[in-house]
Amino acid sequence: MKSVLGLFITSLLLIGINSTTVVAKKKKPEKIQAQVVEAYTRETIPAQKGGLPVLNQQIVILWQYKSCPDNFFWRGDAGWANCRVDKAKKIVNPRKKLPFGLLYDLELVKLDSVKFGDTLMITPINGQGPTIPKEIPDSVRNAVFFKTAGSKWIKLPVPDITKKRAMKMQ
């Protein structure tokens, strides 16, 4: 009787140990380590008469990954688009000759030089982008997708996109 009880207790202990190791091995989904600071659309009116206005969409994010991004794409209502990436610095005291409504000083950046803590301006480029990767559901809208070294596509939702006043170029 004691050996049966001992065998029962031992098997319960082994089942408990195995179940905790299975729980410990489960991989948590990757935490998004980029934060949307703001997102907006703005119409840019050309200085030349007769020029057509351009509607730009811009997403400002704070990069909080230790590794550099490899690629950025925008998935909006109009489709999947390549993105231009600039380092962005908020203009606190506007200079007199700046066009009204300019919010950031921008510097084109190579993705391999992006560092932890950088503020980035992501601008979808109008026109047809490459085909949507199979991993990304076609139903997803208003999100920036990016990859870092060795990662899968990471989705950064952009829930609120405001409309800014039109800006006339000088």
Greatest C-alpha distance within the chain: 99
Stretch among 2-16, 67-81, 115-129 having the lowest mean pLDDT: 2-16
Cβ atoms of 166 and 42 within 8 Å: the answer is yes
* pLDDT higher than threshold 50 for residue 23: no
Reference 72, options 151, 138, 139, 134; nearest CA is 151
pLDDT of residue 22: 46
For residue range 96-106, list pLDDT tens digits in order. Answer: 665 555 678 88
Domain ranges of the chain: 34-168
Region 124-137 average pLDDT: 77
Percentage of residues of the chain with pLDDT beyond 90: 29
∠ CA 117-163-130, rounded to 5°: 65
Distances in Å between the Cα of 84 and the Cα atoms of 58, 70, 112, 137, 165 are 10, 13, 14, 23, 22
Taking the CA atoms of the chain, what radius of gyration do you get in angstroms?
Answer: 24
